[in-house]
Structure formats: C-alpha cells, structure tokens
Amino acid sequence: MAKIQAPVQKNQMIEVQFEDLTHDGNAVAKVEGYPLFVAGALPGETGRIQVTKINKGYGFGRLVELFERSPHRIDVPAADMHKYGGTQLQHISYEGQLQFKEKQVREVLTRIGKLEDVNVHPVLGMEEPWYYRNKAQVPVGERNGKLIAGFFKPRSHEIVDTNESIIQLPKVNEAIQAVKEICSELDIKAYDEVAHKGVLRHIMARYGKQTGELMIVLITRTAELPHKDKIVEEMITRLPHVKSIVHNVNSKRTNVIMGETTKVLWGSEVIYDYIGDVKFAISARSFYQVNPVQTKVLYDKALEYADLTGNETVIDAYCGIGTISLFLAQKAKRVFGVEVVPEAIEDAKRNARLNGIENAEFAVGKAEEVITEWYKQGNRADVLVVDPPRKGCDGALLETIIDMKPGKVVYVSCNPATLARDLRILEDGGYRTLDVQPVDMFPQTTHCEAVACLELV
C-alpha cells in the first residue's frame, strides 16, 4: 500500500489559521493546501493543533491552544462541548450561527445548484435559541451498577450520562431525569447491545408546548416490563403533566430505536399540541416537528409563498401527519396529501377530523408513484408543495412536477445540498427560483431548513 503523502505527520503540533467551517461545524485549516478539520475552532482564529489523523486528501486535528479568538466565540467549558449531543455550534454566538447557516445555504445553491442570482434572505432565528425541543429519545446504559441515560459520544456507542440538555424543553429534561431515577430505584436493568441482554433500551419523552401534555415511552428488549404498575404509579406521582405512558417492544439487534409492538400502559394513546390554530394528535410513533415555535415560522413562510386565494388545488408531497396540508387547507380550495407511511396517513386523517377540515384528502404511497398516477388520471395542481426527507425529492417526482406544470412549487427543505440539486433540475425543467428563506429550526446545531418559492416561466 502506498504511503500517504501529506505535509503533516500524525501527532505533530502545528500553528494554524482557521479559514472556514464545514457543513458539520468543523473548522478548516490548510497546511500547504492540505485541509485539516478541527472541532471547536472558528474562522479567523489562530491556534495550535495536534494532528490526530491523516487521510490521502485531508486530515483531522485537535485544538490544543487558541492564540486569536473570533468575536463570535462563546466560552463553553471543554468538558461540556460534546456533553449535550449534537450541539456542534454552541461555542458560537447566535448571531454567528445564523451567519454561518446563511452562508452555507448561499454556497450550496451556487456550488451545487449553479444558482447565482437567487434571492437568499437572512436566516429567521429564534428569540430564545435554547431549550426548544419538545421530544427526547435517549439511550440507556449502566455504569457501576447504576442506570445512566443521555447521548452517545460522537462516533461511538459510549453513553454520556446527563441530567439536562440545553436544547430540550425543561419539562422534557425533567421527565427524562424522573424516569431514569424511577427505573434505577426499581432496579430495571439496562439493555446491553453487545450481549443482547437486559431490559430498558431507550426512554422517550414528548411534550405539547401549547397544551402542557406529556407522553412517556419506555422502549424495552423484553415483551414484559418488570414492575410496570409501580413505574406507572411513580410517574403519575412525580410527573403531574403526564397524560400518556406507553410501552414499546424492540427485541431485535438493531440501531433502530422503536419496535413494532406498542401498547398504552396508562392514560391516552395520544397527546395534543397546536401549531398556530391547527391542533395535532401525537402518538408514540407520530412524526411531529420537534421545534413547534420555528415550525410555525417555517409553515407561515410556505403559506406566504403558496399565495393562495381560495380557488387553488394543492398537492402536498411527503405530507407526514398532515402538518403542512392542514395549514394550506385553511386557504386552498382543495388539498391532496401523499405519504409512504400508512400510520402517518391515519394520523393526517385524524388531524383533519380533529380540526373540522373537510377539504383535505390523504393517500398512502410513494409520492413519485401516487402523484404520477394522479397526473395520468387528469388531476392537476395549481400549487405543489414538497417537504422531502434529507435525501431530497425522488427523480421521478421531479419529472412529474415538470410534466404537470403547476404554476408554483413551494419546496420545504431540511438539507440545503439536496435542495440545491433539486432546484437545478426544476430550473432546467422550466421553473425559476424566486426566493429562498432559511429558517433556523435547530439552534446550536449545524442543521438548517429552508423554504424555496419557484414559479413556472
């Protein structure tokens, strides 16, 4: 095997200047053009690093000492930098985070989408960018005979035990901590993924920010939950907001969190929450946005871009539990939603009934197949909304959109890179991107959502 030729050596100490941030929040320093990625540093800073790994075209380093600090730096104790799981940007001022995310969106639109002149607005951020997530699902383990629960260390399966996350709602933090204590007191054994033994795999808490309703889900390897009556009794006593206690069984050797079997131990099958005036029923397995404050901001922007007058037929691809569909139905003549997950469609229908919305219909299937079939049957959309997963839209769906020629496309994206790729395809198919509005759904993390508005030329 040929030896890697790099201008640095592993464990070497070098002084560098940091030039940029990658999409995953690592700072970039270059030595003779060779990039080194370093967590915890910021553009414009200088410092000393230790080279930790060398690959053919790039390497990694560890920040040892800072010489010049960025004005956007916030002091975070080194022990806390990765304590809370996923908070890669917590050492950057919130203003700096929003600038980073706007730059990230602009750069991928130019580099991947070849979209030079698109109007990209400043990121819509939060007034309070901490303690915002309404859901947590934390792995459970054991240390010194005691239950621990928290987050996996980056690139490992080692659990960091934590009593609080700086990005979860206080009621969610409180619930996770109480459940951990209850299960520990009752000597519930944690799941051991190596031996595939033990009981408790994950604890999930969901909280309705507008309703104050709490759901607890215990995910176990075993079909039986030891001391379940006592667990329920203690939860009701310690968590007065609890409305639903659920047991999910996942007996497989897998990284997937939830299994197929779910049963209610106490209370309701669902809790409720609102986004704007629309009420949603949320079950243990429902997909529901984890930042309801910014979800309202995101959906309001999608509604603004759709510019509905009450006469339009709208198709909502990847509709999930109907969150965007039901928002659109308040202003549209008719809304058709499609989603591949049957349970999500059942939730969408239930949510439509819950809100007395009668002009929304939902179908199960792959968006690219169902919408293509609708098109063949002569159904047309005036406005088409897509909110795909991180991998972006299926190519067949994009082709159908181009063939169907809705006057307007509203693209809600959770991944700027696939957004840029798909906008390029739509532009080549006869659309023009008018506006892109980034929205910060996940402060303290590198993730950025965006809404794009396209019109048929």
Which residues, 6 or more positions from 252, have their beta carbon under 8 angstroms from its beta carbon?
259
Which residues, 6 or more positions from 87, have their beta carbon under 8 angstroms from its beta carbon?
166, 167, 444, 445
**Distance between CA 177 and CA 334 in Å, rounded?**
45
Q: What is the 3-state secondary structure (H, E, C) of 104-169?
A: HHHHHHHHCCCCCCCEECCCECCCCCCCCECEEEEEEEEECCEEEEEEECCCCCCEEECCCCCCEC
- Concerning whether 414 is annotated as a catalytic residue, the answer is yes
**Distance between CA 186 and CA 205 in Å, rounded?**
19
Enclosing H/E stretch for 337: strand 334-339
Choose the catalytic residue: 319, 414, 448, 453. Answer: 414
- Per-residue DSSP letters for 37-53? EETT--TT-EEEEEEEE
**Distance between CA 26 and CA 37 in Å, rounded?**
6
Which residue spans within 365-448 are E strands per DSSP? Answer: 383-386, 408-413, 431-439
Closest CA relative to residue 273, chosen from 226, 323, 222:
323
Are 188 and 199 contacting, i.e. CB atoms less than 8 angstroms apart? yes
**Hey, what are 450's tokens?**
């965006």
117 exposed, middle or buried (CB, 10 Å; 0-12, 13-18, 19+)?
exposed
**Hey, what are 116's tokens?**
């030079």
| Residue 119 CB coordination number (10 Å) | 10
The whole-angstrom distance between residue 119's C-alpha and the CA centroid of its chain comes to 25
Catalytic residues: 414
